[in-house]
Amino acid sequence: MPDLFGNSRLRDELNAWQKSIDSLSPEDKEALDRAIQNAMQYSDFVENAPPGHETEALLLGVLLSQQKRIEELKQKFGRDEKKDRAFE
């Protein structure tokens, strides 16, 4: 995983997961790299997370990034939110 992170808590958190990351397939590693790179806009959120909650903050950053992308795609392809909610 490339060292994209200037903040130490985020880098330390990812380093703690390195063995698990190494066990992923090359395709999954690439997907994880992209997800984390997209979540980097929330690096301050991770850096300011309560001690011991860096993983949760990182995952929330990934989720936020993915949610924003879903909303962009819905707008791009003209998805109707009301129809989507009808199936909930």
Q: Where are the domains of the chain?
A: 8-86
Helix axes of 26-39 and 54-76: crossing angle, nearest 10 degrees: 90
Show pLDDT as tens, one digit a residue, over the chain (88 residues).
Answer: 444 556 677 788 888 889 999 999 999 999 999 888 888 888 888 888 998 898 898 899 899 999 999 999 999 998 666 666 665 5
Global confidence as pTM: 0.68
